[in-house]
Structure 1
Amino acid sequence: MQMSQRRRVVVTGIGFLSPIGNSLADVRTSLLTGRSGIVAMPEWESIGSLRTRVAGICTDVDENLIPRQTRRSMGRVSILAALAAQKAVADAGLSEEQIASPRCGVSFGSTEGSSQAMEEFLSRILSARSLKGMQSSTYLQFMSHTCAANLAMMFRTQGPVVASCTACVAGSQGIGFGYEQIRNGKAELMLAGGAEEMHFMDAGIFDIMRATSTDFNDRPEMTPRPFDAARDGLVVAEGAGCLILEEFEHARRRNADILAEIAGFGTNCDGAHLTNPSSDGMAGAMLLALEDAGMSADAIGHVNAHATATAAGDVAEAAATFKVFGDRVPVTGFKGYMGHTLGAAGVLESIFTVLMLRQGFIAPTHNLDTPDPQLAPIQHVLREPREHRFQVGMNNNFAFGGINTSLIFRLS
């Protein structure tokens, strides 16, 4: 399809919950003042062999904003998703009739369904060896597409439903696949994003892989440390974010406030290893996004890195980013502030990228004090925020399975 024929896709609403705030004003303060959302988790001391004791938790979560009957099929991950979506729909100024339409769909991801619901379900079955008393709604809380399905039912959308269950790129694929639905004429509106709830099992998976931060259990605000020489692993976190994606002419006809435009999206697979990152695959996703946007690398004014603070991941990502951009463009990451929100990472980091794009600043990479000299020499932003007016920003995320994503946002 020629660029001139493509339908443009814009962002007209934003809603989220995160460990560093549930509003753009709160997040801006966190980013500008270096306020960490990482806290100690003393309750995890009862979990045998779990070494990490820190996490990023959402606060001020009022599930009563969702009708009780609607909540029956929701675990915490879906509740977070629903609260974020409520905010986004309100921010976009959309009516119930506009959302409950065959031209409005949902594209939403998470690593899995509710871990808490899954634990309760399996614990009862394994201990009693019986299905007596089990409720079908429990399965609906932990099924892999619980967020997308529950949002579609809650808002009565009648358009396409896409559920991305691709771990750390679930949120960015949620945005990207929603963007493609509109660009290709399948929808006019999409609720797009991702969510994750906190549970010790999610931290435990990475702990078993020796990928979690353990050296700062008594100093949670000092970890994770993306790209830093003293980094010791990731910190698992929870959160949710939703973007209202809208076809440009549709948004203009209703005089919507256009926050940004999605200019390009790229996703691919390394095809090499389930857990070892590939810098070639990462760079390939960035190049796909640039090609989709019809842009050169010189057009990008800032790159938000996935930057999980793992030993191998940061090395591969720095090499990939340097391969595409050299040291010309500022590269920062948000996980030092809030941890790794897994299925929500792609959407939260996209939202914060749009925030910086619109307000003309770049937040430093929190806890990056001494860049690892073994990394490719990308342009870091250390300690202090930087005033930086830019028109186009890129957000990158990468996941187990060799799955890579890159999203490009521009001011419209």
Structure 2
Amino acid sequence: MSKPIYLFLVFLWFWPLSAQAFDAFNDSRVPANFVVRGADGLRLGLKGIAELSWRDIEGRGGVGHDSLTDTVTLGTRSGHANVDGLRLAFRVETPEDLAFYSAFAFDEYGSRAEGAWFDHRVRLGPGMGLHTEIGLHTPFVAVDDKTSRPPIAARIYWGSPEMHICSVLSGGGVLNWWAGVSMAMMRPLDAAPINDASERQGTVAVLSYGPATTFSGNQPVFGGRAGLQMGGFSLEGFGYGGKLSALRGTDELRNRLAHFALLPGYNSADPRSQDRTFWWAGARMELNLGGVEARLEWLESQESLLRRHTAYAQLGYVWALRPNERWLRTLELRVRVERYQIRSASDPLTPEASLRVVDPSQALTWDYQLATVALSTRLYRDLLHAHLETSFIKERNGAPLLGIADQPIDNNETTIQLELRF
């Protein structure tokens, strides 16, 4: 893309349109308990989320039982407690609906900026609004997972922040509607763990898009979303497209996937000049009726010579036990089933090899099926939430047409978490 066209598009995105990304610190999710009011109607708010967790992967752990294989693939089977992190959000708001929001995360490995963006809302008339967002934030198609463990789709596509300018125009009435566009800088290809207990170590993971960073060849990607809502039912479609760079793009595929060079279309004459295709797109349906929650989501994507698919269905019910009391306000039960696959990963590429490799060092080539059962409660006011979750994880890492059987890993996982939202 030429620089004049790029600058023109940037100018268009700064024109007052509207944007809507999932905000983990919005008032409905984290109440505004600490606000300082200044001159001219300015408001400075402080919010935070702190998470303490106990996690355990199936199988016997402890001294003498965690094998070298376990350490490499999963980190540890030993049950362990840790601080998942402390997240602080500073929010500056004006009477003119112009705001600056930020979020910072702190954990045992260091600190990082999770978000820093300008937010502008404009009313266009009865039932219509425009919302603009500019800065570092998650992609504007992200949603609240409602569980401690995010689905694979979130881990891959919108779980990490990007630098973007995005806009959503919306209208209301009997039928609510919205349509939006986004321009973002391409994020690097990365790996997201399947097990939360092995977040910082272990090879059992899926190919994902990492947090925004600067790298050579990085360029804009474009996205869109549109949806309708009537009552408690909503339907939405979304997608992103652009080009991969060599650095942090196709080079990652060549270096991480042992048999990537065997795929049809691979350019062996110039390894750094590969198919640069990048897109992901999907749709979701949601139903929220009384205490009933239901969500169905489907996505397809392509990264160079890889085609991938993931889908999940989530069903839940929220019992409002004592909504006006201090203790035990709700009881929430949710069940989610998921599927993730790389298209044709087990098909023979040579008489002896397929893209999928059974060795755990090549877990990025595996397919996964998961089922998660989550029980949550608002334990104390809207401040303290408790979560109990169990995930059943099944890997497909064989190549039946080559006579290679699946070699599953015992890595079902249980999490107990206390979450403070203040």
Fold conserved between structures, TM > 0.5: no
More helix per residue: 1
TM class, shorter-chain normalised? under 0.3
- The higher-RCO structure (CA 8 Å, 6+ apart) is 1
TM-score (norm 1): 0.25
More strand per residue: 2
TM-score (norm 2): 0.24
Computing the radius of gyration over CA atoms, which structure comes out larger, 1 or 2? 2
